[in-house]
Structure 1
């Protein structure tokens, strides 16, 4: 694989995770439209948790592909921007792995079972209202933070495409061969 191209699996996982994050946001926002304790509200929470677990699994796949095939060399020679871009990617990776774990912990600390398909996660923590509240608040705060960071990430990609006119965005879209 050329150092100027993303592996197709990297591109797949990038956009798959993006769609899962959008779906998780949409369904948790939809939850607020229903009264507490109602069936539709509980269904929204269940679907949100399922998407979160899919995000975790997809991120493991994404990082595995990155470890095996690497990432292309950056197109921007500016060292400050390069450092910020790398930091942004690793913060996003960390959050996309941590948020589902935090969600499982706060649900289990609230005394709830966590299901994934037909499997029930083992109980990792005893019910504890203080731990539940702490992890729920952190999960919500970092969940909001990730959307801010994804926005910056998207704006940076657009800046590369329209202002710098380089191949950064095209490489992740896999539309044309990169020139770098």
Structure 2
């Protein structure tokens, strides 16, 4: 059954909560690994390994984000709680922008590897070569991927600050409705 009335929802579905926190953990891992890349000389095995690990994590994020969108369609999401309609609209825009970037950035990551002429493996599956290797396109796609990644730092920061603002200043349940329910603990 598709949940179309989200106005009555007060909590995210447990599957949505799981996907949210999985993406958070994977994003931290992806950011750490790609920042480590700069510690190794260009062309070194260690540097290539960091890019491979980063790409693998990105593919997992993509899969989880697709599943998360299905969960959102299926189970709905609580409406934003903001003191003004403008802030409520900004909240919705922020969520959908984060979803879009978390889906688009991995696609550009895959294109980066493909324009570099490298095979991409994912759980024993090798992606078909969708584009012809091209160093100019590789650099363009890399720049877009980096821009999307850097924008995530900024948007995630705003997202987290907004959740903390709701929790500590507005004293509402915006933060607790995305936290997993724990037995014996009251929100």
TM-score (normalised: structure 2): 0.91
1:57 and 2:57 matched: no
Q: CA RMSD in A?
A: 1.5
Normalised to the residue count of structure 1, the TM-score between the two structures is 0.94
Greater helix percent: which structure?
1
- Of the three residues 164, 171, 177, the one matched with 1:171 is 177
Q: How far, CA to CA, are the matches of 1:48 and 1:59 in structure 2? A: 16
Give the distance between the partners of 2:109 and 2:129, measured in 1 at CA.
13
Measured in 2, the distance between the counterparts of 1:95 and 1:69 equals 22
Paired residues of 1:171 and 1:177 also in contact (CA < 8 A): no
Offset of 1:108 from its aligned partner? 0.5
After superposition, the Cα gap between the structure-2 partners of 1:99 and 1:13, relative to the gap in structure 1 and judged at 3 Å, is same
Alignment partners' CA distance in 2, 1:177 and 1:93: 29
Aligned twin of 1:71: 77
- 2:110 and 2:163 map into 1 onto residues whose CA distance is 32
2:39 to 14, 33, 36: 33
Q: Relative to structure 2, which stretch is displaced further, 127-136 or 93-102?
A: 127-136
Deviation digits for residues 131-152 of structure 1, max 9, x if unmatched?
1111000101110111110000
Looking at structure 1, the residues matched to 48 and 123 of structure 2 have their Cα atoms a distance apart, in angstroms, of 16
Unmatched runs of 5 consecutive residues or more in structure 1? none
Q: How many residues align?
A: 178
